A and B are shown apart, each in its own frame.
Chain A
């Protein structure tokens, strides 16, 4: 859209623009700084054999990759279930089911993840460690996406949907071209929460032997090596913040214009 067709909206205040730039460029710079400081700190230490087994590039990269791929699978499964479910539960014919389903999802999130994953490991021993981890984290992260999909769809102005139908859009057409685009900002906020929550909780996968950066933390705990523990914790935190930053950019990108 050319500036000529814009109405005389008040100019974006300087302060707001500065915050925006800080948000876009500040976070990665700060995170890089943290990682660099961590590297310099670890590099300056005299590492013993046990510490070296955890604190080498090959090991750390492999755990980080495990961590990310496990998180990715969990998040994809969350989206694949929570978004369609959220859509269905906001249709008039299924609205009665919304309460019970939300209660279930609430229980999923209210249960301590650690308890959930251990419980699963005991009850579903035959499933294999990865399945157990994925199902537990999936249950845990489903609520924010489900709830925000529903809230996002419900906050769409009824008169807008009604006029879409009144002009002859089918239900599906109205959902796709009116309701969902208008729900996107709220939905994306939920997805962003789920991403961050998942990247954080996947650190617990180590307790069922499913790998990830939790391994580094766990190594630090059982061997009482604080440098290892610190490295693992910082890396998980940096990863979560980085994902949050990425999701924030996507949110900005997909926010419909004019809303």
Chain B
């Protein structure tokens, strides 16, 4: 069993003047070093739960354990300096420069000037902003995406073990949002924090989360599980509805090509060499290790260029997308440098999707048929 960084025990919050509690007897264990995503409809108590954890809101009843210790009675200001906090509206101080914003908690912790400066530059680099260019800017001189990056850097400033992020990428265009998600995952691979991440968006939850807590209402958790389990075995109708259509397609984005079994038996031929005999309709032409051309076995037709090859960081979703785009049932897989590694075809993807699925009907072996 993994160590639990945050434990919520029968946590309840009733706002004065409201008949029903916003969070009702919530019990949840959040393991160390994982990203737990709170997802659910508006008003279900996600933000309230976050603010209970860093005690911006005091619970009506229940307990919060941080690293095993009950923090319900500790000094809230002290507690918060050890918990990074990033929110959708960024909350950046408009009258302070980027560097000053990031330095907020280190200054509260009375770090030396030199240490603070070094840390600010380190963090700016980590979130992909050139320190020389950005440290002296004011928040309003940044784009929304850049402000979010600074918000994340500020939350990480004093290297807190726990990070709370409330819809940090909520107000950002889909493309930038995806970039920021990828960068958060990259950063997390280095820093291994315990992160609680709130979102409305089930796709974001599936992509970001090691575990997903699906809130139904009043801070009640309908299902708390890995993304795979949530998608393949929704606990109830509410969860199924919330995931919506296309759960199978969503699951494709959970597996990276690097983790999939890549077929290496496709017949290949080095450029300029005589084609071997094979039973496939096309041969792959390799040139200095790269796949460059699909060559028809029968003479008389010209080759087709290799398009939309997928790398190890692409997901099976990307691979499927590449097949559909190419109007083909197979896609070339390369390593990070673009060197040919093998191929991935439609049946392989189907196998992966249904690997732990006992209910699926036997598939006809016809190549490329999608059910």
Contacts and interface: CB of A to CB of B under 8 A. Distances in A.
Given A163-B85, A170-B77, A7 B137 contact: yes
A130 interface: no
Interface in A147-173: 157, 159-160, 162-170, 173
Contact of A160 (B78, B93, B105, B138): B93
A248 interface: no
A24 B87 CA distance: 41
Interface in B54-101: 54, 56, 77-82, 85, 87, 89-97
Interface in A137-192: 157, 159-160, 162-170, 173, 178, 181-182
Interface residues of B, number: 32
Given A5-B133, A256-B95, A166 B141 contact: no
B80 A166 contact: yes
Contacts of B85: 163, 166-167
Contacts of B14: none
Contacts of A9: 141
B104 interface: yes
A5 B94 contact: no
Contact of B87 (A1, A159, A257, A258): A159
A157 B147 CA distance: 16
B136 interface: yes
Contacts of A166: 54, 56, 80, 85, 87, 91
Nearest to B50: A166
A9 B80 CA distance: 36
Contacts of A165: 56, 80
Contacts of A1: 136
A182 B139 CA distance: 14
A2 B97 CA distance: 13
B108 interface: yes
A14 B55 CA distance: 51
Contact of B108 (A2, A157, A159, A168): A168
A167 B95 contact: no
Contact of B78 (A164, A168, A181): A168
A185 B70 CA distance: 43
Sorted nearest first, the 4 A-B pairs with minimum C-beta distance are: A163-B91, A258-B138, A168-B81, A256-B95
Interface of B: 54, 56, 77-82, 85, 87, 89-97, 104-105, 108, 132-133, 135-141, 154
